[in-house]
Structure 1
Amino acid sequence: MPRHAVLDKHSHRDLRVRTEAGAALGDDMMAVLTVPSEFRRVQAHFPILFRREAGREDFTALALFGFETGENLFLDGDRWGARYRPLAMAIQPFLVGRPADGDGPGQVHIDLDHPRIAGAGDGVRLFDGDGMATPFLETIAERLGDLDEGYRGSGAFYDALIAHDLLEPFSLEVTLDDGSKHSLVGFHIIDEERVRALDAATLGALHAAGHLMPMFMAMASLSQLSALVDRKNRKLG
């Protein structure tokens, strides 16, 4: 059960965080949230799929790490097998919080029950001996800001995809080298044919709004599906 608190240099002066990769540290996840402003960095390593939450009309984007719950094919012991970690993973165990009324600037919160909270002498300090933020915490704050800004600004992107009917249901059945089969269901992708059919005025409007580039990045990311299958086969081998 998460136990969130506003990060405070007095209450958390001696707090340390583990930064290595590991299933026991919460990295054993099949997919993680990503935002359109991050798609350029994500697409070079992971497929980007879209999912509509049950009972809701809005979509979210996910960077895919595996084919079944709890499977992360980029995780090898304490080694992360890609040159990039999506922001939603890289900021753990921190998150952005806001005042109860929802107004005001974001605050750095921390989950004090997260497995990345380190014991004495382990991990990386958040504050130095003078109570100042360490370079590690400053980097975390920057990443939190990027993720929060990207998430809060993503609504217009999804509205545009829906308005132009550019998302189509996607399912994939993979037969692995050992004969086993894995299925991906319940996801959406951007319909490339419908994008090609858009007129010049619509494409210009999407570009002016900053939506065209993340659309192209999401479509390009699907080439990573075959690389993910290769990772699965190597793991089985």
Structure 2
Amino acid sequence: MNPVQINNIDHADLRVSPRAGAAFNDAANQALVFPAEFEELQREFAIVFRRRDEGLQAYALLGLDRDENLFLADDMWTSRYVPASHRRGPFSIGMVRAAHGDIGVGVGAGDGVGEAMLHVDLDDPRVGDETGLPLFLEHGGNTPYLDHVTGVLRLLYEGMETAPAAYTALDQAGLLAPVTLTIDVSDERRYTVPDVLVVDLEQLATLSGAPLEHLHRSGILRLAILAAASLGNIQHLIARKHQLLAQIG
């Protein structure tokens, strides 16, 4: 990798292709997701939670077999929404010390020590693709593509800051239940997804009083409802698996 901070002088003519694909780590059966995405995600993917060393994290289920993304066809996603962790492409956030006259592209607010700035991996084959999209306008302003990328990176940056507290609140309220998902694709083909947590609808229904009011006012209750509703998309996942098996079989 060769990440460099983007600016409108050194990278005035740089183009980047927005294409996806297995070569760019898009062939994965789950994607890390964040609270700000839940409303869009729940229309397309099943959202589950996992306990990691760094704490609770949320994931969208993309496939059933290892390295399988049923929402990816060649170099394009076929879903109506693409998780931000994949939509960012070759771009990333880097913390740099603020300096006078800095012309880099900012992502988030500074904290007095450093500022989140947009970086691009010059070693990524999508970077420098002449058929790609420009990052800057002729006179130095951001193109719509760069504004889009900046918004995606801002979502990720803010999500990493706010998600832990939101997921911990769900957990402390007893709304996350450990399960092993059993997914039957056919009489002969069954998949299990172990060690996940899903929203416990029974516990959600019994929530009342101050705990309920706190979760509602903080917006965290809405996250629980969206995540619970998203599990219906497992049937959508099965349908896509059927389509794939029909194509190869």
For 1:193-225, what per-residue CA distance to the aligned partner results, in whole angstroms no more than 9, with x for missing partners?
111121232111111111111110000000001
Q: Secondary structure at the match of 1:169?
A: strand
Q: Secondary structure at the match of 2:115?
A: coil
The answer (yes or no) to whether the contact 1:24–1:115 under 8 Å persists in 2 is no
Aligned-partner Cα distance in 2 for 1:95–1:135: 18
1:144-223 to 2 correspondences below 5 Å: 144-177=153-186, 179-223=188-232
Go from structure 1 to structure 2 and tell me whether the alpha carbon gap of 1:204 and 1:24 turns closer, same or farther (over 3 Å shift).
Answer: same
Alignment-derived partner of residue 88 in structure 1: 85
Aligned-partner Cα distance in 2 for 1:178–1:5: 51
Q: CA deviation at 1:63?
A: 1.3
- Runs of 5+ unmatched residues, structure 2: 99-110
Q: Secondary structure at the match of 2:7?
A: coil
Q: CA deviation at 1:227?
A: 0.9
Q: Secondary structure at the match of 1:223?
A: helix
The answer (yes or no) to whether the contact 1:28–1:72 under 8 Å persists in 2 is yes
- Identity across aligned pairs (percent)? 35
Alignment-derived partner of residue 9 in structure 1: 8
Q: CA deviation at 1:22?
A: 2.6
For 1:49-96, what per-residue CA distance to the aligned partner results, in whole angstroms no more than 9, with x for missing partners?
11112xx26111111111133111011223422111122221211122
Q: CA deviation at 1:171?
A: 1.4
- Correspondence for 2:239 among 227, 230, 237: 230
TM superposition score normalised by structure 2:
0.85
Aligned-partner Cα distance in 2 for 1:165–1:5: 43
Aligned-partner Cα distance in 1 for 2:79–2:203: 32
- Runs of 5+ unmatched residues, structure 1: none
Alignment-derived partner of residue 29 in structure 1: 28
The answer to which of 72-81 and 95-104 deviates more is 95-104
Aligned-partner Cα distance in 2 for 1:44–1:36: 14
Alignment-derived partner of residue 126 in structure 2: 116
Q: CA deviation at 1:132?
A: 2.9
The answer (yes or no) to whether the contact 1:97–1:108 under 8 Å persists in 2 is yes
Aligned-partner Cα distance in 2 for 1:155–1:15: 36
Q: Secondary structure at the match of 1:67?
A: coil
Aligned-partner Cα distance in 2 for 1:49–1:27: 19
Alignment-derived partner of residue 103 in structure 2: none
Residue 127 of structure 2 aligns to which amino acid in structure 1? Answer: I
- Correspondence for 2:63 among 62, 66, 70: 66
Q: CA deviation at 1:125?
A: 1.4
Aligned-partner Cα distance in 1 for 2:187–2:3: 44
Residue 144 of structure 2 aligns to which amino acid in structure 1? Answer: P
Aligned-partner Cα distance in 2 for 1:41–1:4: 30
- Correspondence for 1:106 among 99, 116, 119: 116
TM superposition score normalised by structure 1:
0.89
The answer (yes or no) to whether the contact 2:17–2:133 under 8 Å persists in 1 is yes
The answer to which of 132-141 and 108-117 deviates more is 108-117
For 1:18-41, what per-residue CA distance to the aligned partner results, in whole angstroms no more than 9, with x for missing partners?
113332343212121111121011
Q: CA deviation at 1:6?
A: 1.6
Aligned-partner Cα distance in 1 for 2:11–2:60: 32
Aligned-partner Cα distance in 2 for 1:160–1:153: 11
Residue 234 of structure 1 aligns to which amino acid in structure 2? Answer: Q
